Amino acid sequence: MTTKATPDPPSGSVTIKGLTKTYGQATAVDGLDLEIRPGEFISLLGPSGCGKTTTLRMIAGFEKPDSGSIMIGGKDVVRLAPYQRDVNTVFQAYALFPHKSVAENVAYGLQQRKTPRAEIRERVVEALRMVRMLDFADRSPTQLSGGQQQRVALARALVNRPGVLLLDEPLGALDRQLREEMQLELKLLQSRLGITFVFVTHDQGEALAMSDRIAIMRAGRIEQLADADTVYNQPASAYVAGFVGQQNFLQGEVSADGTTVETPIVVVEGPAKPDGRPGEPHQAAIRPELISIEPGTVAEGLNTVAGEVLQVSPLGEVIQYLVKVTDETSLLIRRPAHGAVRLSPGDQVLCGWAAEDVRLFPLDTPPDPTTARSPQ
Amino acid sequence: MRDRAARRLPGFVLAVPAWLWLTVFFVVPFLQVAWFSFGEKPGMFGTHSNAVMSLDRYAEAFSPTFFTIFRATLWMSVLGTVACLLVALPAAYFMALKVPAHRRGLLVALVMVPYWTSFLIRTIGWKVILSSEGALAGFMTDVGLVGDPHDLLNTRGAVLLGLIYNYLPLMILPLYVAFDRVDNALGEASKDLGAGRVRTFFQVTLPLARPGIIAGVVLVFIPMMGDYVTPAVLGGAKGTMVGSLIASQFLTAQNWALGSAMAVVLILLTMVVVVLAIALLWGVGWLVHRRTELVVGTVPPPDPRLPTKEVVTA
Amino acid sequence: MNKPADKNGNVRILASHAGARAIRQELSRRHFLSLAALVGAGAALSACGTGDGGSSSAAEPGGGATGGPVEKALSIYTWGDYDAPEVIEAFGKTGPKVTLDSYGSNEELISKLVAAKGTSGYDIVVPTGVYIPQLIENDVIVKFNKDLIPNIAKVDPQFLGQDWDPENDYSVCKDWGTTGFVYDTTVIKRDLKTWDDFIDAMQKEASGKTSLLDDPQGVAGLYFWANDIDWNTEDMADYDAFEAEAVEKWAPHIAAFDSYPSTGAMQENTFALMQNWNGDARLGILEHKQPDRWKWVLPGPTTELWMDNWCIPAGAPHPEAAHAFIDFVLEPENSFKEMDYIGYHTGTLGIEEMAKERKVELPEMIFFTEEQLATMKNGAVNKAQDRRTEVYDKLKAAASA
């Protein structure tokens, strides 16, 4: 039934090798390699300017790479026009045709492929039913809310049965509640259809919630490619650690015996020895939810600091504390609300963590200012 | 309190200056012309009188001479408008969609700069270029495109050239604005969904630019119908347009009543042509749209007893 | 001997030499304003009916001028580029600040004066003689205070006491001219002498390269002069015959209707045969880079004589200055400068002798012999005006087809 050529398996796979794209002096994508498996939900995550959208647009065919190859379903597509590739795109601002009705928008791709009228109608109805927009079929897209337009854009792309669906920050314009609903829906849809989804986002929460794998991008390259759990718990670099979830970063240097990192406020012991020679700058990252907090005044030993509670924010199931250690340094701490010790601003506290919860990174490249989240 | 009073002013107040302007400078003069057209020329030394009211001037205005020249004027204006459209469409498309944003201002300025020169001077410029002693005439005679260097100036072709040249900016600008407003992503979406460049242009870009096209056509066609300078300078005897006919009634025959009747007939006929042209444009758009029209209407929910068909079969 | 083109030096135009010349010519010699005439008519239309019923001075002879002090300003409404700048400047030095405004046709002038009903603000206008009865009848010009214009005595009596104003109570000759034709001797090798020759050549050698005056009366004249019919005829049968010949025989051969072909299009050799007023023809030949190529003909059997006249409109705000100016310009020395600039006979006594003495070029195109004068006749505004315009429009329609 599909009019797009169905190549040999693996249909829906994308293989990218050495992909490079520069705009004048600026390198947007810098020798990127990426292997996307058929049927997986992969997110390209990174701050703006990291090259994720450029990568997506090169897969879609809107930009020509300077060098490198892109194979979709085993077929080299670098020289092919967008409509010759087994992909469809859901655009950031949906890009629905304002002069066509919802149904005509969805039918557009099928009409270009000279699908018989009766089949077009049937498939448009199915696609709209799938995204629960059938009742709006004859309306103009300009009369729809953002979420509704989003669904129509999805139906318009999926009705063509592409091997790969590219989504360019499709939820960015929605309000939070709707965004969370759509995340769930997208994920369900993707697992039901078995289509490869390549999802571009700068929102790590979104990426964590939906993706089978996440490619964290930095300066045109992939910093880490792994599933959500690995990315969160075993970040490959300080950059990843800082971008995914929140972190407390403590900067110091490797101790004389080479086993710990000495920071101005505490000596940090990690799960292993720091990867550096004594005296080299190093940093430790500790997740807020992995730090314990209890009343107390004197810090003793490794991985323990004393401080003063600055702020207590009950966030529902967790309570967030901001603890001032020195004038320059504070720690962000999150504990389960259930069974937490009652603390108020001004209380003297002791904070501590287990050695295996610490991630140590060399400080050869300072954490990107846009990604390192200093606790506040 | 003052604030609230200001807020309660009805919105149409904003339109009052425009309405005043139109009333004073368009409606009143038009009504005066219409009023004269029912009168007569009272005597050798008079210009107009409404002492006797009649439709006789209209009977006189509907002369074969008027229609011969009106037909020529209409033909030139239609040709000129179509030519402007054909030249302006690719130019405006290029300016709006193919040129980096920071260069567009320069291009718009380049389109506009000649327009700041006096209309007459611009037209006379062409007279110099087209004259039998001009370089163009020499070149075209040498390569055998024309038999006689006198064949360029004082021809219909020269008038058409002048009309296109003089009114082209009025076509390019609305088209440029229209194309500029078409979201780039729509073109990408169209290509993503299987349409090539040409089909994207005709199915997405052009329909969305339609208001600009209509504005451009009206902006160009109506002044062409009334143009009097371009044919006078470039057309010689071949360039008589209906404007000069009306002028001769006012300025030579001093028959304001007949001149007014001709003016009213010209205005009404021009309006009819414009309405027909807009209807035609909409009609073409409608026909094109009908080919891709899809009305779903109400669809019964799928029978829950039947297994749900997967939408996308892998 | 200055060429008139040099005197236009105050118009500075940045263009190629040929371009500048074409532009200047379009902007001058009545031509520019005739293109803008529609605008003028519009202004007249909107002014119409808003006048306050005429100024009180309309009835007063001399517009109230009694020889009192000359006012500080003078506003002249005349044909474009029609007066020697040095004369205007010299008069300005005697006191009044002179402003010039211009029109393109008598009808335009009349429309404006009639509509303004004495509020036009002009002090001097320059209508062609045949329109003066209309201006008098509509009370738009006033009688002179002839005591203030003693220099009328210096005008050749031959050019005084014309039919339209036998006592020169309202008007005095500004200048006069006639209609003839100019042809390109490289295109038309034979000798043309009469209007019949003109019509013949138009349909032969000069087909598609002939221009006629952009004026219904001049075009009708061409037929009547050639056929020795009174060109002021009111016999409609004459016009039927004129229409038949013009529409059927002339129309396909006409390249343009142009009242200033010699100073304009002729410079680019656009036309080979041009019906033309003598002043324009003379300037055109003088300016042309090959003056010998062109031949001027004052054709027989009859032709036109037209005269433009100084008049004072009703309600003129500066009547003393107006009288002073007219007297100033009739002074032979000033009159000579006017003649030299525009190339038309100003009617002053002894001016022909002055011209000979000072070696004015092509004097035969300014001054005419008694025999030639006998063939020239004034036109008239008469009942045939509508019919003339109708035939003219039909000819234009046929020529444009």
Whole-angstrom distance, CA of residue C156 vs CA of residue A294: 126
The length of chain A, given as a count of residues? 376
Other residues' Cβ atoms within 10 Å of the Cβ of residue C59? 12
In this structure, are residues A280 and A256 in contact, taking their beta carbons and an 8 Å threshold? no
Which positions in chain B touch A98 (Cβ < 8 Å)? Answer: 208
Whole-angstrom distance, CA of residue C260 vs CA of residue C283: 10
Instruction: Examine the pLDDT at B85 and tell me if it is beyond 80.
Output: yes
**Residue-level pLDDT at B121:** 86
- CA-based nearest residue to B257, from C231, C77, C386, A180: C386
A216-220, A230-234, A366-370, C359-363: the lowest-pLDDT one? A366-370
In a domain, A372, yes or no: no
Per domain, the residue ranges of chain C are 4-176+307-368, 178-305+373-400
Instruction: Examine the pLDDT at A366 and tell me if it is beyond 60.
Output: no
- CA-based nearest residue to A42, from A52, A30, A31, A27: A52
Query: Which residues have CB under 8 Å from C273's CB, separation 6+?
Result: C181, C182, C183, C184, C187, C188, C198, C201, C202, C205, C206, C209, C210, C211
- The enclosing domain of A253 has a CATH number of 2.40.50.100
pLDDT > 90 in chain A, percent: 41
Q: Give me C150's structure tokens.
A: 């003693």
DSSP β-ladder status, A14-23 and A67-72? antiparallel
Identify residue A280 by its one-letter amino acid code. Answer: E
> Is the pair B, C in contact (3+ CB pairs within 8 Å)?
yes
**Residue-level pLDDT at B302:** 63
Sign of CA dihedral C144, C146, C148, C150: positive
- Which of B40, B229, B240, B262 should be substituted to probe chain C, the one whose Cβ sees the most C Cβ atoms within 10 Å? B240
Whole-angstrom distance, CA of residue C151 vs CA of residue C158: 15
* Same domain, residue pair A156 and A300: no
pLDDT > 90 in chain B, percent: 28
pTM, two decimals, is: 0.74
In this structure, are residues C257 and C220 in contact, taking their beta carbons and an 8 Å threshold? no
In a domain, A43, yes or no: yes
Q: Shortest Cα distance from C343 to chain B (angstroms)?
A: 25
Confidence of residue A371 (pLDDT cuts 50, 70, 90): very low
Mean pLDDT for the stretch of residues B70-93: 93
**Residue-level pLDDT at C20:** 44
* Same domain, residue pair A19 and A139: yes
Whole-angstrom distance, CA of residue C389 vs CA of residue A366: 92
- CA-based nearest residue to A282, from A268, A271, A302: A268
Cβ distance of B240 and C397 shorter than 8 Å? yes
Q: Give me C206's structure tokens.
A: 């000069």
C178-305+373-400 topology per CATH: D-Maltodextrin-Binding Protein; domain 2 (3.40.190)
> Is the pair B, A in contact (3+ CB pairs within 8 Å)?
yes
Residue for token pair 């410079």: C267
A133-137, B21-25, B292-296, C311-315: the lowest-pLDDT one? B292-296
Query: Which residues have CB under 8 Å from A328's CB, separation 6+?
Result: none
**What is the DSSP secondary structure assignment for residue B209, as one 8-state letter?**
T
For A148-182, what is each residue's pLDDT tens digit? 998 999 999 999 999 999 999 888 878 888 888 88
Q: Shortest Cα distance from C210 to chain B (angstroms)?
A: 10
Q: What is the largest CA-CA distance in chain C?
A: 62
**What is the DSSP secondary structure assignment for residue A79, as one 8-state letter?**
T
B85-94, B154-163, B293-302, C103-112: the lowest-pLDDT one? B293-302
Q: Give me A355's structure tokens.
A: 């050695």
Domain range enclosing A107: 14-233
In this structure, are residues C41 and B250 in contact, taking their beta carbons and an 8 Å threshold? yes
Q: Shortest Cα distance from C266 to chain B (angstroms)?
A: 10
- The residue from A233, A259, A290 where one domain ends is A233
**Residue-level pLDDT at C122:** 94
**Residue-level pLDDT at A10:** 60
Identify residue C94 by its one-letter amino acid code. Answer: T
Average pLDDT, chain A: 87
In this structure, are residues A147 and A175 in contact, taking their beta carbons and an 8 Å threshold? no
Identify residue B301 by its one-letter amino acid code. Answer: P
- CA-based nearest residue to A14, from A28, A31, A33, A30: A33
Per domain, the residue ranges of chain B are 63-287
Nearest CA in chain C to B255: C386
State the burial class of residue C303 (Cβ atoms within 10 Å of its Cβ: 0-12, 13-18, 19+). Answer: buried
- Which of B205, B208, B294, B313 should be substituted to probe chain A, the one whose Cβ sees the most A Cβ atoms within 10 Å? B294
Which positions in chain B touch A120 (Cβ < 8 Å)? Answer: 294
Cβ distance of B190 and A108 shorter than 8 Å? yes
* Same domain, residue pair A257 and A199: no
**Residue-level pLDDT at C222:** 95
Q: Give me C395's structure tokens.
A: 């000819």
Chains linked to C by 3 or more Cβ pairs within 8 Å: B
**Residue-level pLDDT at B304:** 55
* Same domain, residue pair A103 and A226: yes
pLDDT (tens, 9 = 90+) of chain C, 401 residues, equals: 333 333 333 433 444 444 444 444 444 433 433 443 333 333 443 333 333 333 334 456 778 888 889 999 999 999 888 999 999 999 999 989 999 998 877 878 887 888 788 888 999 999 999 989 888 988 899 999 999 999 999 999 989 999 899 999 999 999 999 999 999 999 999 999 999 999 999 999 999 899 999 888 999 999 999 999 999 999 999 999 999 999 999 999 999 988 888 888 888 888 999 999 999 999 999 999 999 999 999 998 899 999 999 999 999 999 999 999 999 999 999 999 999 999 999 999 999 999 999 999 999 999 999 999 999 998 888 888 889 988 998 998 888 87
* Same domain, residue pair A221 and A250: no
HSE at residue B271, side-chain half, CA atoms within 13 A, is: 6
Cβ distance of B193 and A100 shorter than 8 Å? no
What is the interface pTM, i.e. ipTM, of the complex? 0.78
* Same domain, residue pair A173 and A307: no
Fold identical between C4-176+307-368 and C178-305+373-400?
A: yes
Whole-angstrom distance, CA of residue A183 vs CA of residue A65: 30
Mark out chain B residues that contact chain A at CB-CB < 8 A: 183, 185-186, 188-196, 199, 203-204, 207-208, 289, 292-297, 299, 302, 309-314
- CA-based nearest residue to C87, from C7, C33, C26, C12: C7
Rg (CA), chain C: 21
Residue for token pair 């002038």: C109
**Residue-level pLDDT at A364:** 57
Chains linked to A by 3 or more Cβ pairs within 8 Å: B
CATH 1.10.3720.10 assigned to domain B63-287? The reply is yes
Nearest CA in chain C to B155: C255
* Same domain, residue pair A259 and A286: yes
Whole-angstrom distance, CA of residue B37 vs CA of residue B49: 10
Whole-angstrom distance, CA of residue B51 vs CA of residue B38: 10
Cβ distance of B229 and C383 shorter than 8 Å? no
- The residue from A233, A265, A283 where one domain ends is A233
* Same domain, residue pair A60 and A177: yes
**Number of domains making up chain A:** 2
**Residue-level pLDDT at A365:** 56
Residue from the list B192, B199, B314 with its beta carbon closest to the beta carbon of A88: B192
- Which of A99, A102, A131, A150 should be substituted to probe chain B, the one whose Cβ sees the most B Cβ atoms within 10 Å? A99
Give the relative orientation of helices B210-226 and B156-181 as an angle to the nearest 10 degrees.
Answer: 150
Nearest CA in chain B to A98: B208
Cβ distance of C256 and B125 shorter than 8 Å? no
Residue for token pair 């219409």: B34
Cβ distance of B297 and A138 shorter than 8 Å? yes
Q: Which residue has the higher pLDDT, C59 or A209?
A: A209
In a domain, A208, yes or no: yes
Q: Give me B73's structure tokens.
A: 């004027």
End-to-end CA distance of chain B: 67
SS (H, E, C) chain C: CCCHHHHHHHCCCCCCHHHHHHHHHHHCCCHHHHHCHHHHHHHHHHHCCCCCCCCHHHCCHHHHCCCCCCCCEEEEEEECCCCCHHHHHHHHHCCCEEEEEEECCHHHHHHHHHHHCCCCCCCEECCEHHHHHHHHHCCCEECCCHHHCHHHHHECHHHCCCCCCCCCCCCEEEEEEEEEEEEECCCCCCCCCEHHHHHHHHHCCCCCCEEECCCHHHHHHHHHHHCCCCCCCCCHHHHHHHHHHHHHHHHHHEEEECCCCCCCHHHHCCCCEEEEEHHHHHHHHHHCCCHHHEEEECCECCEEEEEEEEEEECCCCCHHHHHHHHHHHHCHHHHHHHHHHHCCECCECCHHHHHHHCCCCCHHHCCCCHHHHHCEECCCCCCCHHHHHHHHHHHHHHHHC
In a domain, A141, yes or no: yes
**What is the DSSP secondary structure assignment for residue A71, as one 8-state letter?**
E
In this structure, are residues A37 and A209 in contact, taking their beta carbons and an 8 Å threshold? no
CA distances from A111 to A90, A98, A106, A124, B203 (A): 18, 17, 9, 11, 11
> Is the pair A, C in contact (3+ CB pairs within 8 Å)?
no
- The enclosing domain of A189 has a CATH number of 3.40.50.300
Which positions in chain B touch A7 (Cβ < 8 Å)? Answer: none
In a domain, A238, yes or no: no
Which positions in chain C touch B120 (Cβ < 8 Å)? Answer: 26, 32, 35
Q: Sheet holding C124-125: strands in order across? A: C97-103, C73-79, C124-125
The length of chain C, given as a count of residues? 401
In a domain, A239, yes or no: no
- CA-based nearest residue to C267, from B38, A74, B132, A9: B132
The CATH code for residues C4-176+307-368 is: 3.40.190.10
**Residue-level pLDDT at C132:** 92
Instruction: Examine the pLDDT at A376 and tell me if it is beyond 50.
Output: no
Which positions in chain A touch B198 (Cβ < 8 Å)? Answer: none
> How many CB pairs below 8 A link B and C?
139
Which positions in chain B touch C209 (Cβ < 8 Å)? Answer: 150
Mean pLDDT for the stretch of residues A191-209: 91
Mean pLDDT for the stretch of residues B11-37: 89
- Any chain B CB within 8 A of the CB of A130? yes
Whole-angstrom distance, CA of residue A22 vs CA of residue A110: 34
Which positions in chain B touch A60 (Cβ < 8 Å)? Answer: 188, 192
- Any chain B CB within 8 A of the CB of A151? no
Which positions in chain B touch C105 (Cβ < 8 Å)? Answer: 251-252
Cβ distance of B311 and A97 shorter than 8 Å? no
Nearest CA in chain B to C397: B69
Other residues' Cβ atoms within 10 Å of the Cβ of residue C326? 22
For A99-129, what is each residue's pLDDT tens digit? 999 999 999 999 998 889 999 999 999 999 9
- Which of A1, A63, A97 should be substituted to probe chain B, the one whose Cβ sees the most B Cβ atoms within 10 Å? A97
Q: Give me B125's structure tokens.
A: 């410029």
Cβ distance of B120 and C114 shorter than 8 Å? no
What pairs with residue A226 in β-bridges? A214
Average pLDDT, chain B: 84
**Residue-level pLDDT at C110:** 85
Q: Shortest Cα distance from B29 to chain C (angstroms)?
A: 7
**What is the DSSP secondary structure assignment for residue A266, as one 8-state letter?**
-
Cβ distance of B45 and C265 shorter than 8 Å? no
- Any chain B CB within 8 A of the CB of A83? yes
Q: Which residue has the higher pLDDT, C53 or B195?
A: B195
**Residue-level pLDDT at C11:** 38
- The residue from A171, A203, A233 where one domain ends is A233
